[in-house]
Amino acid sequence: MSGLLVAIGLILQVSLFDAFAWQGVVPNLVLMVVVAGALSRGGQAGMVLGFTAGLLMDLAPPADTVAGRWALALLVAGYVAGRFRQDTPTGRPSVTAVVATVATCSFVATSIFALTGMILQDPAIGFGEVLRVIGIGLFWDVLLTPLFLPVLLTLYARADAEARRA
Amino acid sequence: MTQLQSRPAAGREGINRRGSLEPRDPRSPRRSTAVALLLACATLITLDKTGGVLDPVRRVTGEVLGPAESAVSTVARPITSVPGWFHTRDGLKSRIADLQEQNAKLQEQVRTSDLDRNRLAEYDGLTRTAESIGYAVVPSRVIALGPAQSFHRTATIDAGSASGVRPDMTVVAAQGLVGRVLRVTSTTATVLLITDGDSTVGGRVGSSMKVGFVHGDSDLGDGGANQLELQLVDRSSIPRRGDTVVTWGSAKAAPYVSGVPIGQVTSAYASVRDSSTTAAIAPFVDFGALDLVGVVVPSGTSSDRAIIDADGRLKK
C-alpha cells in the first residue's frame, strides 16, 4: 500500500501541483506519505519507506538529480518521524505533534537534499536561494498537513487493523 | 496498538549490558538497517555521479510512470487552468491599454517595413538555398514540472522516442527557446530548461551580432524577469537594454539549433573583478506557465503523430 501511496503522491506532485507552485516550490506529498508511514508504523518501517520513496523521486521523470540524494533525505525524514512516534506512544499522535513532525521532517529533508547538492555541486546554488526554497517548502507542507495527513494516517490505521485481523 | 507494543515479541529480545533480557520494540529502527540504507545511498550517489550506470533504471521508471503523469496532467488540465480565469478589472483594463499601444506600434512598423521586408525576403531566399537543412517540429505538451525543492528546472513532455524525439534535441515554444532533451522513454522525454543552473546556451546579441553564453542563473522563482545571464566573449561590448538574444547554434544542430529567440536584455553591467560583461536576460518564454512546446527534429523524421514541417504545414 505504501508503494502505491508514494507513487500517487509523486505523480500528483509533478503533474498536478506544478500548476499551483509558488515560486516553483510545490508541496512535498511524498514526504507526507513517508511521515504518515513512520508515524503509524515506527522508525524501522519509516526509514525503509523513506529510502524507497526518495529513490523513486530521484529516478522518475522529470528528475535530473544525482540518484540517492532524495533517498538519503527522506530516509532521515522517516527516521526523525519514527522518533516522534516513540515520544507519543499512546495511540494516535495529537494534531500539534503531527504538524510539528511534518514541519521538522520538511525542514530536515529539504536541508539534507540541499546540503548534498552543495557538496556534489549539483548544481552550484546560492545559500539565500536554498533558505528561501526551504522556507516556502515548509510553509506549503504545514499548510497541506490538515488536508492530507489525517487521510493517510486513517488509511495506515485501517490497513494495520486488517493485517492484525488476518 | 499499545497492547501490541507492550507485548514483548518472541525472538526479538536483546541482552543488555547488565546481562538481563530486555524487550525490544520491533518497530524502533535497527542500527543495521540504518547503516545498510545509508551505505546504499552513498553507493547510488557515487554510481550516478561517476557515469550513466543508472540510465536504464531511469528509463524503466519513466516508461512506467510517464503514462500515469500524462494521464493525470490531461485529466487535471481543466482544473490547473482555473487560476488563469481570474483577472481583476484593473488588470484587464491595463492589459487592454497595453495591447492597444502594442497594436498601434506594430501597425506603424508594418507600414514602414516594406523595404525591410523585401530585403529580408531576399536574405531568406539566400539562406534557404545555402542551407538546405529544414527543421520540423514535433508538437507536445508539458505533463510534469520538477519541483524547485530539487534545485533543478526540468520538465516532462508527452512525446518520446516513438514520436521521433532523441536526446540533445532543441525544445522550443511559440515565444522562443525552452531547453533541450536530456533523455527519452518511448512516450515521454525529460527536458532541461534553459533557466536551470547547469544549462549553458550559445547566444548572440541581435543588434551587434556579438556572441556569448547564456546561463540559467538558478533563480528558481517564476515571474519571468531576469532568469538568465548572458556572458559575452567580447568584453568590450555592452549590450543595450531591449536587445534580443538568439541562439547561435551548435555543431550539427545538437543540442541547439541556431536562430531561436531566447530573451531580451534587461540590464547589463561590466564586472571589474573578472573583467567580463554580464547582461541579465528576461526569457521570452513564461516558464511558470509552460504548456504547448515543440521538439525540433530533422525534416522527414518518422513519427507517430503529425509533425509541423519547415514550411509551416502539418504533415502526417
Please write the tens of the pLDDT for every residue from B165-203: 988 898 888 778 889 999 898 889 999 998 888 888 888
Looking at residue B131, its pLDDT comes to 40
Tell me the chain B residues in contact with residue A136 when contact means C-beta distances shorter than 8 Å.
148
Lowest model confidence (mean pLDDT) among B33-42, B106-115, B272-281: B106-115
pLDDT at B250 over 50: yes
Would you tell me which residues 68-97 of chain A have a C-beta closer than 8 angstroms to some C-beta of chain B?
Answer: 68-72, 75, 79, 82, 86, 89-91
- Residue of B311, B296, B7 lying closest to B138 (CA atoms): B296
Name the percent of chain A lying above pLDDT 90: 22
* Domain-located, residue B48: no
A62, A71, A120: residue with CB nearest B154: A62
pLDDT at position B97 is 81
Q: For A94-141, how does the pLDDT look when each residue is reduced to its tens digit (9 = 90+)?
A: 888 889 989 999 999 999 998 888 888 766 677 788 888 888 889 989
Q: How many other C-beta atoms are found inside a 10 Å radius of the C-beta of residue B52?
A: 10
Q: What's the pLDDT score for residue B133?
A: 38
Query: What pLDDT sits at residue A108?
Result: 93
pLDDT tens-place string over residues B69-104:
888 888 887 777 766 666 667 777 888 888 887 877
pLDDT(A16) > 90: no
- Rounded Cα distance between A65 and A58, Å, is 6
Indicate the number of domains in chain A: 1
Q: Measure in Å the smallest separation between the Cα of B170 and chain A Cα atoms.
A: 17
pLDDT tier for residue B2 given thresholds of 50, 70 and 90: very low
Query: Closest by alpha carbon to B154, among B213, B80, B83, B69?
Result: B69
C-beta of residue B138 within 8 angstroms of C-beta of residue B297: yes
Q: Residue A103: what pLDDT?
A: 93
b/e map B273-292, b = 16+ CB within 10 Å: eeeebbbbbbbbbebeebee
pLDDT at A33: 92
Examine the pLDDT at B224 and tell me if it is beyond 60: no
Instruction: In whole angstroms, give the CA distance from residue B14 to residue B33.
Output: 16
A43 CA: distance to closest CA in chain B (Å): 5
Q: Which position has the grid cell 524503466? A: B60
Which of B73, B182, B219 is nearest residue A129 as measured by Cβ atoms? B219
More confident residue, B115 or A45: A45
Q: Mean pLDDT score of chain B, rounded to an integer?
A: 76
pLDDT tops 60 at residue B9: no
Taking the C-alpha atoms of residue A45 and residue A35, their distance in angstroms, rounded to an integer, is 11
How far from chain centre, in Å, is Cα B110? 33
Return the CATH number at A69: 1.10.1760.20
CA–CA dist B59, B52 (Å, integer): 11
Chain B interface includes A21 (CB < 8 A): yes
- The whole-angstrom distance between B198's CA and the closest CA on chain A is 6
Contact between B153 and B146 under an 8 Å Cβ cutoff? The reply is yes
Instruction: Give Dmax (Cα) for chain B.
Output: 98
Question: How far is A163 from chain B, CA to nearest CA, in Å?
Answer: 12
Instruction: Quote the pLDDT of residue B61.
Output: 87
Grade residue B12 by pLDDT with cuts at 50, 70 and 90. very low
| Per-residue cell: A83 | 522518533
> Which positions 98-127 of A are in contact with B (Cβ < 8 Å)?
110, 113-114, 116-117, 120, 122-126
**Contact at CB, A64 and B192, closer than 8 angstroms:** yes
- Residue B52 — pLDDT band, cuts 50, 70, 90? confident
Q: What is the CATH number of the domain that holds B201?
A: 2.40.10.340
Cβ(B184)–Cβ(B166) below 8 Å: yes
CA distance B114 to B120: 10
Mutation target to probe the A interface, by most A beta carbons within 10 A, among B7, B151, B220 is B151
Helix (H, G, I), strand (E, B) or coil at A33: helix
CA A161, CA B7: separation in Å to the nearest integer?
17
- Inspect the interface and report whether the beta carbons of A12 and B72 lie closer than 8 Å: yes
Q: Is residue B90 part of a domain?
A: no
Report the domain count for chain B: 1
Among A16-25, A54-63, B21-30, top mean pLDDT goes to A54-63
Residues of A in contact with B80 (CB under 8 A): 16, 18-20
Task: Judge: B45–A120 Cβ closer than 8 Å, yes or no.
Answer: yes
Q: Which domain holds residue A160?
A: 2-165
> Reduced to 3 states, what is the DSSP secondary structure of residue A4?
helix
B244 Cβ contact partners less than 8 Å away, ≥ 6 residues apart: B205, B206, B207, B261, B263, B264, B265
User: What pLDDT is stored for residue B6 in this prediction?
Assistant: 44
Any chain B CB within 8 A of the CB of A10? yes
- Closest CB to B76: pick one of A16, A117, A129: A16
Task: Answer whether B260's CB lies under 8 Å from B247's CB.
Answer: yes
Q: Is B260 exposed, middle or buried (0-12, 13-18, 19+ CB in 10 A)?
A: buried
Give the pLDDT band (50/70/90) at residue B8.
Answer: very low
CA B92, B97, B102: angle at the middle one, nearest 5?
A: 120
Closest Cβ–Cβ partner in B25, B45, B72 for A69: B45
Mean pLDDT throughout B240-257? 80
Q: Is B144 helix (H, G, I), strand (E, B) or coil?
A: strand
Is residue B297 a part of any domain in this protein? Answer: yes
Q: Helix, strand, coil proportions of chain B in percent (round to 5)?
A: 35, 25, 40
The C-alpha atoms of residue B35 and residue B41 are separated, in whole angstroms, by: 10
Contacts of B161 (CB under 8 A, 6+ apart): B184, B185, B186, B189
Q: What angle do CA A85, A89, A92 make, to 5 degrees?
A: 80
Rounded Cα distance between B314 and B136, Å, is 10
Annotate B6-32 with DSSP letters as a single string: HSPPTT--EE-TTS-EE---TTSPPHH
**Considering only alpha carbons, which residue of chain B is nearest residue A41?**
B27
Query: Of A44, A110, A160, which is closest to B149 when you measure between CB atoms?
Result: A110
Structure confidence by residue, pLDDT tens digits, B116-161: 655 565 555 444 433 433 577 888 888 888 887 788 888 999 888 8
A109 vs A10, which has greater pLDDT? A109
**Is A43 buried (19+), middle (13-18) or exposed (0-12) by CB count in 10 A?**
buried
The helix/strand/coil state of B265 is: strand
Shortest distance, CA B88 to any CA of chain A (angstroms): 19
Q: Which domain holds residue B287?
A: 54-82+136-316
- The residue behind cell 549490558 is B17
